[in-house]
Amino acid sequence: MNRRKRPRSSSGVLYKKRKNNLMANNWNIPKWLEEEAREIDKCCVYCGVEFTPLNISRKSAASWEHIINDAKIITRENIALCCCGCNASKGQKQLSIWLQSKYCKEHGISAETVALIVKQAIENGL
């Protein structure tokens, strides 16, 4: 009996499963909002990089962003997806201050280049 080992453990199925779990959020973001954000934000709202799965690039993987840095504000206006690179750079900084940072200059990120949701936040005085 020449039983083979389980074939293709790295099949697409496994990969898909992992991808779905990738951004399970710890932010109490309701499902509808999470789905809406994922539907609309296919790219980083700041630098515009297209999201990649974590196992391809950590930097350009999607992460949850509270535009106003307050985890209690869970609205479509405040929840967006940005890449880990931008998220790490922005940290606790206020949006308008972060936009002046070296990181933003190096990546060509400005109030004019960011996604609409971020522009709206800037207009509202962030």
Chain contacts with Zn ion (rule: CB under 5 A): 44, 46-47, 83, 86
Residues 6 or more apart whose Cβ sits within 8 Å of residue 123: none
Q: Which is nearer to Zn ion, 86 or 121 (CB)?
A: 86
- Min dist CB 58 to Zn ion, Å, is 12
Q: Which is nearer to Zn ion, 16 or 38 (CB)?
A: 38
**Contact at 8 Å (CB) between 98 and 109?**
no
- Min dist CB 88 to Zn ion, Å, is 10
What is the distance between the alpha carbons of residues 77 and 69, in angstroms, rounded to a whole number? 12
**Contact at 8 Å (CB) between 77 and 96?**
no
- Min dist CB 27 to Zn ion, Å, is 18
Q: Which is nearer to Zn ion, 1 or 112 (CB)?
A: 112
- Min dist CB 36 to Zn ion, Å, is 20
Burial class (CB in 10 A: 0-12, 13-18, 19+), 12: exposed
Q: Which is nearer to Zn ion, 44 or 117 (CB)?
A: 44
